């Protein structure tokens, strides 16, 4: 049976092949939001893939449309639409932090497809630094740094996952 892990909750275990990531999270005792009940119409069940992208079902049209509408790029997936075919590691992004108006302007200047990933990276670093609100002084260099790191990776999914793993201090 495939082994799956969820961070930062640190829940892991074996789940049947073919089970959705959402069902797997419930089986392991996690309560992931899933407002639309698993019909690919809300995006609240989003997870980030940290490892094992090759062990998951392909993205179908419904999921692709919803990810696009919610501006969620790779490595985000909708857990209700993603079936497990082998070992995989997931990150459930923590609830979003508050950004001041000026800081948010910096984030919103990014392309939609990089915004969600950069937000997770910047917030993880800010949490680690003990900050509770993202202010412009933090946001401007932090967004620039994350943007440069992602650009350097040139769409290499494994490198992006490794960066997220490092920043979020996943084992
Ligand atoms: S539960 Fe709504 S998209 Fe997955």
Stretch(es) of the chain classified as CATH 3.10.20.30? 3-91
Both structure tokens of 41? 């119409």
Q: Ligand 1 in contact with 82 (CB < 6 A)? A: no
Burial 12-32 (b: 16+ CB within 10 A, else e): eeebeeebbbbbbbeebeeeb
Strand locations in 52-97 (E):
76-78, 88-91
Per-residue pLDDT tens over the stretch 40-85: 999 999 999 999 999 999 999 999 999 999 999 889 999 999 999 9
Q: Tell how far the Cα of 65 is from the centroid of ligand 1, in angstroms.
A: 12
Q: How far apart are CA 129 and CA 46, in angstroms?
A: 25
CA of 61 to the centre of ligand 1 (A): 14
Does residue 25's CB lie within 6 angstroms of at least one atom of ligand 1?
no
Q: Using a 6 Å cutoff on CB, does residue 100 contact ligand 1? A: no
- Confidence (pTM): 0.88
**Per CATH, is 3-91 categorized as 3.10.20.30?**
yes
Specify the pLDDT at position 123. 94
Whole-Å CA distances, 157 to 17, 45, 154: 23, 21, 9
């Amino acid at each position: 049976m495939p082994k799956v892990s969820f961070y930062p909750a640190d829940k892991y275990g074996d789940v049947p092949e073919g089970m959705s990531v959402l069902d797997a999270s419930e089986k392991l005792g996690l309560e992931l939001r899933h407002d639309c009940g698993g019909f690919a119409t809300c995006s609240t069940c989003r997870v980030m893939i940290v490892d094992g992208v090759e062990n998951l079902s392909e993205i179908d049209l419904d999921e692709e449309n919803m990810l696009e509408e919610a501006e969620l790029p790779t490595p985000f997936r909708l857990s209700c639409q993603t079936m497990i075919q082998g070992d995989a590691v997931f990150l459930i992004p923590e609830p979003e932090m508050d950004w001041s108006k000026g800081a948010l302007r910096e984030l919103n200047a990014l392309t939609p497809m990089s915004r969600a990933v950069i937000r997770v990276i910047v917030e993880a670093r800010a949490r680690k630094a003990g900050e509770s609100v993202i202010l412009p002084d933090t946001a401007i260099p932090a967004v620039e740094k994350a943007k440069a790191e992602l650009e350097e990776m040139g769409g290499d999914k494994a490198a992006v996952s490794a960066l997220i793993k490092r920043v979020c201090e996943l084992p």
